[in-house]
Chains A and B, each alone.
Chain A
Amino acid sequence: MALDPATAGESGHSRTAARVEALFRQHYGRMVSMLARLTGDRSHSEEIASDVFHKLSQRPALLASGDDLAAWIYRVATNAGLDALRTNSRRRQHEEAAASDAVRLASQPNALDHLLARERAVRVRGVLESLKPRDAQLLLLRSSGLAYRELAETLGVEATSVGTLLARAEAEFERRYRARYGESV
């Protein structure tokens, strides 16, 4: 039985829309969480994540394929988050300088702890920005609590490779962090 082209097109459109919606429901929250850690700005992270799914909805060929698209959307999201981080690098430098000044001026124990943590977060983001996107993505997702199976899915690799990739990413992160900031944590 031959399908009416208009009906077939409408059916295909609804299928791709349904797939985008399913991916959105499954990954949006986790993606925003990862991006918020990376950028330090939750509202901006929500904008980036929404943009990723909008881009996905504009790729009918990709959606029509049977590929697992989790790796694609997380790769796009991580790159967009790193771009945002680099775009705001000047602001981050100001924040780092301001945090250092504030630490010197702080007098209350709680305020000092807060400011130290803030300064450390700025440093960590700077080192993440310098890593390969996949290494940064792996560390961010792992710190968000994803299991190896989920990490393998979002990275598009075998689950048995995650341990190796994670060990290498951690070694590179530590090397770069210590090179920038010495033994201070």
Chain B
Amino acid sequence: MSQCWPEGTLRAYLDGELPAEEMRQVAAHLEGCPPCGRLHAELSVRASYVAGLMDTLAVPVGLPARRRAPRVSGSWVWTGAAVALAAGLAIAAMLIPKNEPMKMTHMPPPAPAPETRIVPQGPAEIPLTAPTRQQAVTVARRPRRVANADPFIALDDEPIESGIVMRVELPGSTPADIVFSPDGRARAVRLVKGTQRNY
């Protein structure tokens, strides 16, 4: 029987990393040496075990393994889109008179603002003459302070530097105020109590 081979050589034999002549010698030895055969089998099983575990670390090329702190999660994107759509429909409903056909060239005057309305910093008073479409939109979007209103609940952790407030009607005829940032994302929400619905 030829000489026994050290563990490192048997490990290199497993990977086919020995010179050709040495590969033949080791192969011939393993056939006639049970202890080396057992060591070879043990190294082979262990190498497969470790390789299998190490393969779990493979990261696809060109793809980050972990996304870093996304600004908005997917569910909030869809929620924001749905709320924005509802807000658009609500605004359209406010702008179109219910009992008259819509006329693009002549808008009917809006209902006068109630006396209890509190708008200390409004950009302009509502004109008494017939407003243009743009003015009507401005009035509809103007954020208002409502006495005894619930506080807004932020929908993410980012500070809200600017935005607009839209009143929408959630499913179940529940009115709510939504704060939208300039990029169109819904940033905060509050439910509106029944007494605050019309202001």
| Across-interface contacts of B15 in A (CB, < 8 A) | 148, 163
- The segment from A6-14, A54-62, A103-111, A169-177 that touches chain B is A169-177
| Across-interface contacts of B63 in A (CB, < 8 A) | 42
Contact indicator per residue, chain A 39-77, by CB within 8 Å of chain B (1) or not (0): 111110000000000000000000000000000000000
Complex: chain B residue closest to A151, CB-CB: B17
Interface residue? A98 (CB, 8 A):
no
Interface pair A124/B11, CB less than 8 Å apart? no
| Across-interface contacts of A42 in B (CB, < 8 A) | 59, 63-65
**For the complex, would chain B's binding face be called helix, strand, loop or mixed by DSSP majority?**
helix
* Residue of B12, B15, B43 most packed against chain A (CB within 10 A): B12
Apart from A39-B65, A41-B64, A143-B55: 6 A-B pairs, beta carbons within 8 A: A36-B65, A124-B57, A163-B10, A167-B7, A170-B46, A170-B47
Interface residue? B120 (CB, 8 A):
no
Contact indicator per residue, chain B 64-80, by CB within 8 Å of chain A (1) or not (0): 11101000000000000
Interface residue? B50 (CB, 8 A):
yes
| Across-interface contacts of A161 in B (CB, < 8 A) | 8
Interface residue? B35 (CB, 8 A):
no
Interface pair A163/B11, CB less than 8 Å apart? yes
Q: Which of A36, A43, A148, A160 contacts B68 (CB 8 A)?
A: A43
Residues of B1-59 at the interface with A, using a CB-CB cut-off of 8 Å, are: 6-13, 15, 17, 43, 46-47, 49-59
Interface pair B68/A164, CB less than 8 Å apart? no
Interface pair B12/A163, CB less than 8 Å apart? yes
| Across-interface contacts of A117 in B (CB, < 8 A) | 56
Q: A120-B56, A121-B57 are in contact. Are A167 and B64 (CB under 8 A)?
A: no
Contact indicator per residue, chain A 129-170, by CB within 8 Å of chain B (1) or not (0): 000000000011011000110000000000011111111001
Assembly CA distance A170 to B43 (angstroms):
9
Say how far B49's CB is from chain A's closest CB, in angstroms.
Answer: 6
Interface pair B64/A125, CB less than 8 Å apart? no
Please provide the 3 A-B residue pairs with the shortest distance between their CB atoms, ordered closest to farther: A164-B8, A163-B12, A163-B8
**For the complex, would chain A's binding face be called helix, strand, loop or mixed by DSSP majority?**
helix
Say how far A82's CB is from chain B's closest CB, in angstroms.
Answer: 14
Interface pair A164/B11, CB less than 8 Å apart? yes
Assembly CA distance A29 to B49 (angstroms):
27
Interface pair B53/A177, CB less than 8 Å apart? yes
| Across-interface contacts of A86 in B (CB, < 8 A) | none
| Across-interface contacts of B47 in A (CB, < 8 A) | 170
Q: A41-B64, A143-B55 are in contact. Are A167 and B17 (CB under 8 A)?
A: no
| Across-interface contacts of A147 in B (CB, < 8 A) | 17
| Across-interface contacts of B68 in A (CB, < 8 A) | 43
Interface residue? A185 (CB, 8 A):
yes
Interface pair B53/A124, CB less than 8 Å apart? yes
Assembly CA distance A170 to B44 (angstroms):
11
Assembly CA distance A160 to B47 (angstroms):
18
Interface pair A140/B54, CB less than 8 Å apart? yes
Assembly CA distance A67 to B18 (angstroms):
27
| Across-interface contacts of A40 in B (CB, < 8 A) | 57, 59, 65-66
Complex: chain B residue closest to A117, CB-CB: B56
